[in-house]
């Protein structure tokens, strides 16, 4: 990893340039100099772990064309309803909006172009390990367990399976280049205490309205709760909205104090998501945004869709 204090974490790979969570996006993130590469993890019907941000397939693949009769009552196509062999037959593409046609980020890689595939977690990790060997760079992995309670309701203890797979591939201790993250605070505690995971762990901080987990994030970021977290995890992963607001006087960014509160109890802060095509309010350029968050808030890591631009901003 590069010799700088702020880690650059490739959010879903270099997804500002190539479709998210494809091996092509991960290879490019590695080439662009990312320190860590993120893997979101969900499970198939035959209990295989794949790398995909959602428990649904329809925004990022051609599943509706290939299997038009396989949606649930809500009209969505769930990963859990497909075997790995079926998912491997799908073409992955740039994320689309709810209409299934328009790209979320219209100036990124053209949606529907190319023949990208959905990787398994094992395939991706071994791919990154192979790149580490061939390039001589040690790039870490940053897996996220998605919706563990939902998976349990579907009949699978996904956390146990993820921890076991990571152990099989050599990620076992805090000295290994791996951060394990999850939005569910109860599950994070269970992974550490019941499953005995000794990896570096990060508690993700979301909004209660997202429905990611039963966790009350408003309570979780209070000083007493952060102190308790410090005994369980190594860091927190808040959104940029948890870190900054705009001054009522001149519209300039103002810290909300979460980073300093976390640092006080020994927690690192890895914030998400730095995008050149979706700047946080109060900033005009990617370089200005990255520089302010690092210089003013002293972030320990940043998740970004554009690793090269983040590195350039940090180095400059």
Residues labelled catalytic? 11, 53
Cβ atoms of 51 and 43 within 8 Å: the answer is: no
Please name the residues in contact with 297: beta carbons below 8 A apart, sequence gap of 6 or more.
Answer: 243, 244, 255, 259, 260, 269
C-alpha span between 21 and 189 (Å, rounded) = 27
CB atoms within 10 A of CB 160: 15
Question: Which residue blocks in 68-203 are alpha helix, DSSP H?
Answer: 84-88, 121-135, 148-153, 158-168, 185-193
C-alpha span between 128 and 171 (Å, rounded) = 13
| Neighbour-count burial of 115, counting CB atoms closer than 10 A to its CB (0-12 exposed, 13-18 middle, 19+ buried) | exposed
């Amino acid at each position: 990893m590069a010799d700088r204090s702020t880690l650059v974490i490739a959010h879903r790979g270099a997804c500002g340039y190539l479709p998210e969570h494809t091996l092509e996006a991960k290879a490019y993130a590695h080439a662009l100099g990312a320190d860590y590469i993120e893997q979101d993890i969900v499970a198939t019907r035959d209990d295989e772990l794949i790398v995909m941000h959602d428990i649904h397939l329809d925004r990022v693949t051609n599943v509706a064309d290939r299997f038009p009769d396989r949606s649930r009552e809500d009209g969505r196509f769930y990963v859990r309803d497909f075997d790995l062999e079926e998912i491997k037959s799908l073409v992955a593409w740039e994320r689309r909006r709810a209409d299934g046609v328009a790209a979320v980020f219209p100036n990124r890689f053209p949606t529907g172009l190319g023949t990208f595939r959905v990787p398994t977690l094992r395939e991706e990790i071994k791919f990154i390990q192979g790149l580490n060997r061939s390039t001589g760079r040690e790039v870490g992995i940053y897996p996220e367990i998605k919706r563990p309670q939902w998976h349990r309701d579907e009949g699978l203890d996904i956390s146990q399976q993820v921890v076991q797979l990571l152990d099989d591939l050599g990620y076992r201790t805090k000295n290994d280049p791996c951060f394990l993250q999850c939005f569910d605070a109860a599950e994070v505690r269970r992974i550490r205490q019941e499953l005995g995971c000794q990896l570096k762990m990060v508690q993700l901080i979301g909004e209660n309205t997202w429905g990611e987990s039963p966790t009350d994030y408003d309570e979780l970021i209070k000083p007493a709760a952060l102190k308790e977290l410090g005994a369980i995890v190594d860091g927190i992963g808040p959104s940029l909205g948890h870190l900054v607001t705009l001054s009522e006087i001149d519209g300039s960014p103002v810290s909300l104090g979460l980073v300093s509160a976390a640092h006080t109890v020994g927690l690192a802060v890895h914030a998400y998501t730095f995008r050149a095509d979706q700047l946080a309010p109060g900033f005009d350029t990617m370089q200005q945004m990255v520089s302010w968050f690092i210089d003013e808030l002293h972030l320990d890591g940043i998740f970004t869709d554009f690793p090269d631009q983040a590195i350039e901003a940090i180095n400059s």
